[in-house]
Amino acid sequence: MKRRHESKRARAARRACVARRRRAARKAAAAGAPPVSAVPAPAVPAPVVAPAAPETPAPAPISSALGVDAFDVGGFALRLTRVWIPAGTLTIYYRNRDSSEHNLWIDGPGVDAPVQVSGEVGENGTATKKVAVSAGAWSLYCSLPGHEAMRATISVG
C-alpha cells in the first residue's frame, strides 16, 4: 500500500521496523517457536472480573383461578369452572346465583383448618379470595346448616 506524503525519515523507520520483524520471525522459526506476525497484535485489555452471579431465584409460584357458582337446581349445588389446577396460589371467584344465602369454605391437605372464602352472601353476592393450595383433593362447601349437599371437589396437582 502506498502511503501519501510520507517523509523520508518515516519511510526509513517503517522499513527498519519491518526488517526487524522479519529477522525475529526467521530466528523464531529456526528455534521452533511459532512465527511472529508482521502485524502487531492488538493490545489485549485486562480481563474484566464480573461480580459473582446471584443465586438462581426460585421460580415464581404458579397462579391460577377458579370460578365457583352456588345454585339451587332441585337441590343445592356448586358448579366449578375447572376440575383440576396446578399447586400454587389459587384465586377463587365465588358468586351466589341462588335466592338463599350461602357461604364458601375450602379445605385440603396441609391446612390446619378450613379457609373461609366468603361469609354469607345473598342472591348475586360475590367474593374473591387467594389461597395457597398444595397437591391433593380439595373440598369446597357451604357450611350453613342444611346445605351439606352444596359441596364440590377439585384436584390439585
Residues 6+ apart with CB under 8 A from 157: 84, 85, 86, 87, 135
Distance CA 155, CA 82 (A): 9
Predicted confidence at residue 12, as pLDDT, reads 85
Distance CA 31, CA 95 (A): 89
Residues 6+ apart with CB under 8 A from 70: 76, 77, 78, 94, 95, 96, 97, 98, 102, 104, 142, 150
Residues 6+ apart with CB under 8 A from 90: 63, 64, 65, 66, 130, 131, 132, 133, 156
Predicted confidence at residue 34, as pLDDT, reads 57
Q: Mean pLDDT by 10-residue block, N- to C-terminus, for the chain (157 residues)? A: 69 85 80 58 66 69 87 89 92 94 94 93 94 94 93 94
pTM here?
A: 0.61
Predicted confidence at residue 60, as pLDDT, reads 66
